[in-house]
Amino acid sequence: MEVVPTSVGFAARHWDEQNLDVAAAARQIGESTSHGFTDAVAPVVDRFARLWREHGDRLARRCEEQADGLRAALADYVATDAASALGFQRLISDPGLLLSRGLVEEVR
């Protein structure tokens, strides 16, 4: 049975943050204005902003999928009886791990 370390839970949180940050960047690109450009350039600016918003959103979704995937790996691990027993054994043998916010909280 594979042991999933608590660092996986922390990595999932970081991917959540990246998802938010990149989604914000995508929105920023999408909301950029073509006002101020000449008529010859403005339509291309609009097209660029629209397509790059999509590119950014897609990248943000990949970050979210990473976070979800890591959480799923943790959930699988905790849901397995044998793994739970092993995890419990680790927790009680390592007070630092017990106090850390990683494992159980991430699965919630």
Partner 1 sequence: MSAVAPPTEVPSFDVAPELVRDTSTAWLAASAQIDDLGTFASGAARVGDWTDSVASRAYHRRVGAIGDRSEAMSLALRRVAQRTGTHADELIALGCRRDDLLARRRRLVVDLAAWQIASAEAATPQQRTDADATANSLSAAIADFDSEVVRWTHDLRVEEQAMVRELERVLELAAVERLYGGVPDPADPALHTFPGAGATPSEIRSWWDALGEAEQGALIAASPGSIGNLDGIPAAVRDEANHVRLVRDLADLRHTVEAGVASDGERRRLENAEAAHDALMEIEGRDDLVTAEPVRSSLYLYDPDAFGSDGRIAIAAGDPDAADNLAVLVPGLGTDATSAPEQAARALDLYEAARMVAPDESSAAMAWIGYDAPSGADSAAVVREDMAADGGRRLADAIDGLRASRSGDPAHLTVIAHSYGSTTAGHAAHDGGLAVDDLAFVGSPGVGGHNDDVGDLGLERGQVWAAANSRDPVALLGDHGWINLSTLNGAGMGDDPTEDSFGAQRFRAEDAGRGDRPSLEQHSRYFDPGSESLHNLARIVVGDDGDVLRAEPKHDPLFGGPHDPEWDRRPTPVPTR
The residue (of 75 and 104) whose beta carbon lies closer to partner 1 is 75
Distance (Å) of CA 2 to CA 43, 71, 80, 83, 86: 54, 15, 10, 8, 10
Closest CA to 12 of 56, 69, 84: 69
What does the angle CA 18 – CA 22 – CA 28 come to, to the nearest 5 degrees?
150
Token pair of 43 as six digits: 């339509």
Region from 23-31, 78-86, 93-101 binding partner 1, contact rule CB under 8 A? 23-31
94 binds partner 1 (CB under 8 A): no
> What residues have CB less than 8 Å from 104, skipping those under 6 apart?
78
Interacting residues with partner 1 between 34 and 53 (CB under 8 A): 34-41, 44-45, 47-48, 51-52
21 binds partner 1 (CB under 8 A): yes
The residue (of 52 and 91) whose beta carbon lies closer to partner 1 is 52
Secondary structure (3-state) at 16 = helix
The residue (of 66 and 80) whose beta carbon lies closer to partner 1 is 66
In the complex, which residues of this chain contact partner 1 (CB under 8 A)? 2, 4-5, 7-8, 11, 14-15, 18, 20-29, 31-41, 44-45, 47-48, 51-52, 55-56, 59, 62-63, 66, 69-70, 73
